[in-house]
């Protein structure tokens, strides 16, 4: 009996997985004259799943993720486009006018993707408050943890932190200590370390 249940479950699994997939279509055109743009990559963000626009600027792509977001990495603005649940086809306008609504929407989608990740990278630069020289070998840690990174010869550092929360970093150098706060939308700070 267990064998029959196992076989039945395994035959249903592909149906369940396929049920989560969605096939979308689109046409990539120029903002100037609406002519098709062939040969452009279309990708599912964070995967190698992708396709290329044909001679008519059209593409078809089956995605595994929800919400349905596609990415045009060749675009200098790294264009992201989201398909709502009830839309399976979009004409996507590509042009140099970054004030166009499509680019504003793209930035919102990019932020949404970034915030969905479990971690993010914080960058910083530590300089001497008076001389403005870089301060190397500073100890940098997330407050309350033991993970430590050190600033390099140019005072720079990068540390990986949990995403979607305010982070406090403890900066230590030769007995000097400083607490620096990065809010949810901040990824870089220049810190001026004050020597006595």
pLDDT score of 46? 79
Of 98, 115, 132, which residue is a domain's last? 115
Classify 193 as helix, strand or coil.
Answer: strand
pLDDT score of 172? 93
Question: How many folded domains does the chain comprise?
Answer: 2
pLDDT score of 18? 45
Q: Which domain holds residue 49?
A: 2-115
Which residue ranges of the chain lie beneath pLDDT 50?
Answer: 4, 8, 12-18, 98
Tell me: do 102 and 123 sit in the same domain: no
Of 93, 115, 137, which residue is a domain's last? 115
Identify the sign of the CA torsion 128, 133, 137, 139.
positive
Q: Tell me the whole-structure pTM to 2 decimals.
A: 0.53
CA distances from 52 to 42, 48, 155, 194 (A): 6, 12, 43, 54
Q: Which two tokens stand for residue 143?
A: 């407050």
pLDDT score of 15? 42
């Amino acid at each position: 009996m267990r064998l029959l249940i196992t076989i039945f479950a395994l035959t249903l699994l592909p149906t369940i997985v396929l049920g989560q997939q969605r096939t979308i279509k689109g046409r990539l055109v120029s903002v100037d004259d609406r002519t098709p743009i062939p040969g452009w990559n279309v990708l599912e963000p964070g995967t190698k799943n992708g396709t290329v626009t044909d001679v008519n600027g059209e593409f078809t792509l089956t995605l595994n993720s929800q919400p349905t977001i596609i990415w045009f990495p060749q675009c200098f603005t790294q264009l992201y486009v989201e398909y709502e649940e009830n839309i399976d086809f979009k004409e996507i306008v590509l042009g140099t006018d970054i004030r166009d609504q499509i680019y504003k929407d793209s930035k919102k989608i990019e932020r949404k993707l970034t915030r969905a990740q479990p971690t993010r990278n914080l960058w910083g630069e530590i300089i001497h408050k008076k001389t403005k020289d870089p301060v190397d070998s500073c100890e940098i840690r997330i407050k309350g943890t033991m993970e430590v990174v050190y600033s390099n010869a140019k005072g720079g550092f990068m540390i990986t932190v949990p995403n979607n929360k305010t982070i406090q970093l403890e900066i230590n150098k030769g007995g000097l200590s400083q607490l620096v706060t990065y809010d949810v939308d901040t990824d870089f700070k220049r810190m001026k370390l004050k020597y006595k």
